[in-house]
Amino acid sequence: MKKLLAALDLLVVGFLALVWRFMPPEVPLFFSYPEGEEQLVSTALLLLPLILVNVFVFANEFVVYRFFTEEKEAFSKLIFYLNLFLLLFSAYVIVRIIVLVV
């Protein structure tokens, strides 16, 4: 199950590597801000959602293995699907931003 999450990470990073040279120097990432320069960040920060989700994935795994020893299987599956959803959503956001600007 963890291999699927790692493969999805690599797929998103590989996609970013393929389109990197076509990307503008700044991309809109913070859509909750008003339109304009407040939404723009450096292209390198496009990896921020993926990094934050991976930190969350590792924190979830730590909590399951540290605190839920008796119910590890059930919580492990639940956390896996939560992590998969978060990673897929993060990948979707990154791909949508790339499609928007390229």
Phi and psi angles of residue 29, each rounded to the nearest 5 degrees, phi first: -120, -35
By residue range, what is the domain housing residue 37?
2-101
pTM of this structure: 0.84
The pLDDT score that the predictor gives to residue 32 is 80
14-69 tens-digit pLDDT? 999 999 999 999 998 888 888 888 889 999 999 999 999 999 989 988 888 888 77
Element (H, E) at 26: strand 26-28
The owner of tokens 């339109």 is 35
31 contacts: CB under 8 Å, gap ≥ 6: 39
- Using the predicted structure, report yes or no on whether residue 1 has a pLDDT greater than 90: no
Cβ atoms of 41 and 30 closer than 8 Å = yes
Looking at the structure of the chain, the number of domains it has is 1
